[in-house]
Amino acid sequence: MSRITGDPILDVQDLAMRFPVKKGLFGRTVGHVHAVDGVSFTIQQGETLGLVGESGCGKTTLGRSVARILEPTSGQIVYRGRDGAATDLATLGRRQLRPFQRDIRVVFQDPFSSLNPRMTLLQIVGDPLRAHGIAAGGELEDRVAEMLTRVGLSPKYMRRYPHAFSGGERQRVNIARALIVHPRLVIADEPVSALDVSVRAQILNLLWDLQDEFDLTYLFISHDLSVVESICDRVAVMYLGRIAELAQTAELYARPRHPYTEALLSAVPVPDPRLRDGDRRIRIADDLPDPADPPPGCRFHSRCRYAEPGTCDVPGSEPALGAVGPEHLAACHLTDRLTLQSPFDAPRSR
């Protein structure tokens, strides 16, 4: 854990991203999807912060808003640069953002659709060097060859097109493209979800090695809690556009303080046969509620096995994300009264 300096590299405050819901022939706006709804967190330099939650809870939207691929509706995204200067990225125009887009890079989920099939590896990986005016010609080619080698691909294939490569190899190309400009913060959005299980560990190990070598900080987005446990220092659990719980990985997995985290953990496959006995899985009722119309009060109450009428469902009484232990935050009205279970009862280190 020594790679974590303790200096925040990113401080996100009250971030919101709402998408208009349009209806009818004239595309009238009839409401808004609250994809990200008042999210605050920090990331320390050198750490890996995991962002978990089921499909549709807003993870991708949050990652893309932080990278300013999407224009957030409101909130602050304060980035601390190499010189220590803090800049609120949410206030910057496209042109002012350019230098920061070198520092903050995204690795996208699907290695099949995220690479342009008409570009060679040289063009794909070299493009950010060209776009940021860092290198051209022979120097660009040398740098691409070096980076391809670093991610485990032979530079002799650099004039081939993506279709000639497997999913794992394409994800290595994606990673090379992200790292070629030596970023500081990498937002990895489900980087191994589309890959065969056999390839996942290789890509995770690569990300881990590159983190040390390039002094990287990761925001690691995944719906897979096993993957997150293996790679993240801290984990934020998202539910319907908000953070429900945030803590050090070992602490969160051993002592969940939010019923949603408890339910997610109960569904994680564990190797220990003692824990596989019986059905320990906590089933969460129904599908994710409509993010255009989140439930009143605690937005998890409609699916929570512990919800108390008159406490958890009171309109306007949404629980705030508050301290429940050292470096442990949770947003639940009942957290102090609940004894939640976890199959990860003994903390394991990374």
**Residue numbers at the binding site for ligand ATP (CB under 6 A):** 19, 33, 35, 53, 55-61, 223, 291
32/143 with CB nearer ligand ATP: 32
Q: How far is the CB of 123 from ligand ATP (least distance, A)?
A: 28
Alpha-carbon span 308 to 310, nearest angstrom? 6
58/111 with CB nearer ligand ATP: 58
DSSP 253-315: HHS--SHHHHHHHHTS--S-HHHHSS----PPPSSPPPTTSPPSSSTTGGG-TT--TTTTS-T
Q: How far is the CB of 53 from ligand ATP (least distance, A)?
A: 6
Burial of 31 (0-12, 13-18, 19+ CB in 10 A): middle
145/246 with CB nearer ligand ATP: 246
Q: How far is the CB of 230 from ligand ATP (least distance, A)?
A: 19
113/205 with CB nearer ligand ATP: 113
37/47 with CB nearer ligand ATP: 37
Q: How far is the CB of 330 from ligand ATP (least distance, A)?
A: 19
Nearest to 156 by CA among 147, 168, 145, 164: 145
Q: How far is the CB of 70 from ligand ATP (least distance, A)?
A: 8
Buried (b) or exposed (e) across 56-78, using 16+ Cβ within 10 A? Answer: bbbbbbbbbbbbbebebbebebb
Alpha-carbon span 267 to 47, nearest angstrom? 26
Alpha-carbon span 158 to 282, nearest angstrom? 48
59/200 with CB nearer ligand ATP: 59
Do the Cβ atoms of 178 and 107 come closer than 8 Å? yes
Q: How far is the CB of 54 from ligand ATP (least distance, A)?
A: 7
Q: How far is the CB of 213 from ligand ATP (least distance, A)?
A: 28
71/142 with CB nearer ligand ATP: 71
Which residues partner with 21 through β-bridges? 31
Q: Which two tokens stand for residue 149?
A: 């080698």
46/53 with CB nearer ligand ATP: 53
- At 197, the amino acid letter reads V
Q: How far is the CB of 208 from ligand ATP (least distance, A)?
A: 22
Buried (b) or exposed (e) across 171-198, using 16+ Cβ within 10 A? Answer: bbbbbbbbbbbebbbbbbbbbbebbeee
